[in-house]
Structure 1
Amino acid sequence: MNSPTPKKTTVVKCPTCQTDVVWGEISPYRPFCSKQCQMIDFGEWADEEKSIPGAPDMSDSDGWSEG
């Protein structure tokens, strides 16, 4: 008889503090290690310290309109 193969545990680094985080139900804030690290990251995005490169913003302030 074959014994069941144990599941491989995936471990990632917390993006905020680099602590090892198990990717699974035991880590509800994954990929973050805690609610605190999650909120630090959220704050950095909200303050526009982080961004995803892309097309320039086409807002009304630069004279562009759809009309």
Structure 2
Amino acid sequence: MSTIVNCPTCQAQVKWIKENQFRPFCSKRCQLIDLGDWADENHKISQPMQNNEPLNEEMLDALEQEFLQHNKFFVEPE
């Protein structure tokens, strides 16, 4: 049995299955509307950072490397 969730944009019911490439959205349109809301800063993550320790260059480099490893589409082609 598959899980059913509501589309975050239009509230339509969506099956949470591997074949649904837009999950949790019902369609590419709803996915793009949500992306546009983030780009327009209509959505924000409001929880403050938990660690008050200032970041140094070494920590920033490590965070950047970790991010790039998990998000290959940001890597420039060679």
Same-fold call, TM cutoff 0.5: yes
Runs of 4+ in 1 over 2 A off after TM superposition: none
Unpaired stretches in structure 1, ≥5 consecutive residues: 1-7, 57-65
Give me the whole-angstrom Cα distance separating, in 1, the residues matched to 2:30 and 2:10. Answer: 7
Indicate the residue corresponding to 1:54 in structure 2: 47
RMSD of equivalent CA atoms:
1.6
Unpaired stretches in structure 2, ≥5 consecutive residues: 50-55, 57-78
Whether 2:33 is the aligned partner of 1:26: answer no
Q: TM-score, normalised by structure 2?
A: 0.58
Greater RCO structure (CA 8 Å; 6+ sep): 1
Larger radius of gyration: 1
Residue deviations 1:17-47 (CA, integer Å, cap 9, x gap) = 0000000023110000000000000000000
> Which of the pair is proportionally richer in helix?
2
% identity of equivalent residues: 50
Indicate the residue corresponding to 2:6 in structure 1: 13
